[in-house]
Amino acid sequence: MAKWNSIRLNYAEGIFAKAGFMEKRRVVVTGVGALTPVGNTGAQFWDGLMSGRNGIRRITHFDASSYDAQIAGEVIGFDPLDYLSKKDVKRTIRFTQFAIAASMQALSDANFTITDLNSEQVGVIIGTGTGGIDWLEQQAGILHDKGPDRVSPFMVPLFIYNMAAGQTAIQTGAKGPNSCTVTACAAGSNAIGDAFRLIQQGYAQAMLCGGTEAAITPLTVAGFAACRSLSRRNDEPDRASRPFDRDRNGFVLGEGAGVMLLEELHHALARGARIYAEITGYAMTSDAFHMTAPVESGEGAARAISLALKDAGIYPDQVDYINAHGTSTEVNDPIETRAIKTVLGEHAYRTTVSSTKSMTGHLLGGSGGIEGVATALAVYHDRVPPTINLDNPDPECDLDYIPNVARTLPVEVALSNSFGFGGHNVTLVFRKYREGK
């Protein structure tokens, strides 16, 4: 059987090689956009991270005074009319508007224009965990209070998960591959990884990709609080999200979107694009263990990290920085630490690690989008964001988590980790662009 499997694999590789699929094209990040609790553009987001700005505050989207968890990372000052017409604002909802805005920012940042000549080679993949749950809650209330005849005819097309990607394509004119990843808190990173693969294998020249979420709603907050996932540090919102700290007591919900423009290298060079970083590796694995809890040993996460490095052709001791999933929960933080140490060995203690969720909260399906943006910018600027509120490190979390103050250091290779309910594990590998490498 082993011999037969080897023959089948060799045969398949031969077919793909003849078809040209084994020639991997290089993929680079040329534009970024972000709507986050610490800034409403890519530049503002980066400045917020570098200054250690805290985006957690008491919830204003609804009256949460009777809830166990009353704090969140809200996007403040966002006006969809800055990006959409009045008509289109009425036909989109918050998670979709975030995605469109971040995508338009990424295109502008990259100085990239989608035209009739290139539109079929530009695609969109936007991940989300809850889609239009705010709209769904509203319409469910109308159904309950006023009956089925009062439900909006836009009820379905506004809340379905793929609409962020679909509407982004409509608004930008991108006619290439279009998809939506829905893998809980790994969704944004899966979207970036899948877009990377499409360009790498020749199915697109450029892709808008990332994650979006607008889940600060009564039902979502109540649900996460009911499963005891959320921090109840309501009187100290600026100290509530504290990954790797022994006083952490749950994550803080956040909202927003992070989108990057990926391009095939020669395509980017031909138009003189600025290159933030190159994506060189992507892997996803499954714990196949539990619907919410990760494997205690971190085995599934470790395999994702290891396979992504192998895909990138990078040795573990070459990693300079890891943007951790780092949720600020009792379970996740030590398990991710074990996974990192399993793969990097002693080099783990020489690697800088941080969780930007300490500042933004946890954007669920949008987290991989903004954290991918942060990782690419760390590579570009040779600066790494801090983990704020890290005052009393958990003894089980004994790596260099860059406590409280950003740090300047050479970043040649960086990883971004995302792990989601259901046992989804994703790692992306970014490295500094070097000609000829």
Token pair listed for 304:
């994702």
- Mapped to the 3 state alphabet, what secondary structure does 208-235 carry? EEEEEECCCCHHHHHHHHHCCCECCCCC
Instruction: Verify whether residue 397 is a known catalytic residue.
Output: no
Half-sphere exposure (Cβ direction) of 331: Cα atoms closer than 13 Å: 12
**Cβ density class 69-91: b for 16+ within 10 Å, e for less:** bbbbbbbeebebeebbeeebeee
Instruction: Tell me the C-alpha distance between 404 and 402, whole Å.
Output: 6
Active-site annotation holds for 347:
no
- Asked if the domains at 27-270 and 282-431 fall in one CATH topology, the answer is yes
181, 112 contact by CB (below 8 A): no
Q: Nearest 5°: phi and psi at 113?
A: -115, 130
Residue keyed to tokens 């995508």: 103
* pLDDT digits 0-9 by tens, 158-169: 999 999 999 999
CA angle (120, 431, 202) in 5-degree steps: 25
**Percent of the chain residues topping a pLDDT of 70:** 95
Side chain identity at residue 401, one-letter code: Y
| pLDDT of amino acid 359 | 98
The C-alpha torsion from 39 through 199 and 127 to 299, rounded to 10°, is: -100
Q: Are 413 and 320 spatial neighbours (Cβ–Cβ below 8 Å)? A: yes
Instruction: Read off the amino acid at residue 77.
Output: G
Q: With a cut of 50, which residues of the chain have pLDDT below it?
A: 1-21
Active site residue 180: no
What is the β-pairing status of strands 321-323 and 352-354?
Answer: parallel
The active-site residue out of 180, 209, 267, 362 is 362
Nearest to 424 by CA among 214, 256, 189: 189
Q: Where does 27-270 sit in CATH, by number? A: 3.40.47.10
Q: How far apart are CA 377 and CA 357, in angstroms?
A: 16
* pLDDT, position 437: 64
Find out if CATH 3.40.47.10 is the number for domain 282-431.
yes
Whole-angstrom CA distances from 144 to 93, 138, 245 are 21, 10, 43
CB 127 within 8 A of CB 418: no
* Tokens 């499997």, located at residue: 5
Q: How many CB atoms lie within 10 A of CB 10?
A: 10
Written as six digits, the tokens of 280 are 């060189």
Burial label for 7, CB within 10 Å (0-12, 13-18, 19+), is: exposed
- 279 token code pair: 């994506």
- Each residue's pLDDT tens digit, 327-356: 999 999 999 999 999 999 999 999 999 999
Structural domain spans, the chain: 27-270, 282-431
Burial of 249 (0-12, 13-18, 19+ CB in 10 A): middle
Catalytic residue, from 185, 209, 267, 397: name it.
185
pLDDT given at position 263 = 98
Residue 214: phi and psi, rounded to 5, are -140, 70
CB burial of 264-281 (b: ≥16 within 10 Å; e: otherwise) equals bbebbeeeebebbbbbbb
